[in-house]
Amino acid sequence: MFAPRPERSATVEVFVDGAAVRVPAGASAAAAVLLAGAPLIRETPISGAPRLPYCMIGVCFDCLAEIDGIANRQACMVPVTAGMRVAPQRGARVAFPA
């Protein structure tokens, strides 16, 4: 039921909107976005207003992002992996890109 926490000194490199950032192993992709100081993680589909992660517990959906090429993922629920690419989601997700 419980898993041991990774060493606090362990970090992984991820890319937030193309910029490399080192984050603690076990952190979420949303935490990586905040640590990177990114100005937004998504834009709303209607007005294009910028959003950043808010609740960090999977409730508000303000952290929807494109992670490793897959859009509409809740970044606060996705643990980072080495080399992960997190990109802002702009507007509505494209269900089936051409």
Sites of contact with ligand FES (CB under 6 A) = 30, 53-56, 58-63, 74, 76
Q: Give me the least distance between CB of 61 and ligand FES, in Å please.
A: 5
Q: Give me the least distance between CB of 27 and ligand FES, in Å please.
A: 13
User: Which lies closer to ligand FES via its Cβ, residue 74 or residue 96?
Assistant: 74
Nearest CA among 20, 38, 30, 87 for reference residue 57: 30
User: Which lies closer to ligand FES via its Cβ, residue 30 or residue 86?
Assistant: 30
